[in-house]
Amino acid sequence: MHKGEIIWLHVILFKIRKMLETCRFTGKYFQLYDKLSVFPSHIHKRKVDHKKAIFILCLGILEVLHEKPMIVTECGSINLSEIIDLSSQVRFI
């Protein structure tokens, strides 16, 4: 992906995070994201930094969704508790 596309994805995930926080959903990965201090508006940051931020945001969103393990959609229900826990496979250096 090009840097512009990565930043666009970062913007979308950041907006999802803000929406979840508005509904009072928060988690440890959102705190880790804040500590990373790479936000979508920081276009001068390296591409790899934005990728790290995106990955942490995805983990944060999954963490919040894990609190509500059953989600009903138009196509049926999804049991999120059956999804692999990615957090146990991630090492932050």
Convert the pLDDT of each residue in 24-71 to its tens digit: 888 899 999 999 999 999 999 999 999 999 999 999 998 888 765 555
CATH code of the domain covering residue 42:
1.20.1270.110
**CA–CA–CA angle 51, 72, 18 (5° rounding):** 40
pLDDT at 93 over 50: no
For residue 30, the model assigns a pLDDT of 95
- What lies within 8 Å, CB to CB, of 81 at 6+ separation is 66, 69
The domain in which residue 24 lies consists of: 3-89
Buried b (16+ CB within 10 A) or exposed e, 62-91: bbbeeeeeeeeeeeeeeeeeeeeeeeeeee
Instruction: State the residue for tokens 């990565």.
Output: 6
Look at the chain and report how many structural domains it folds into: 1
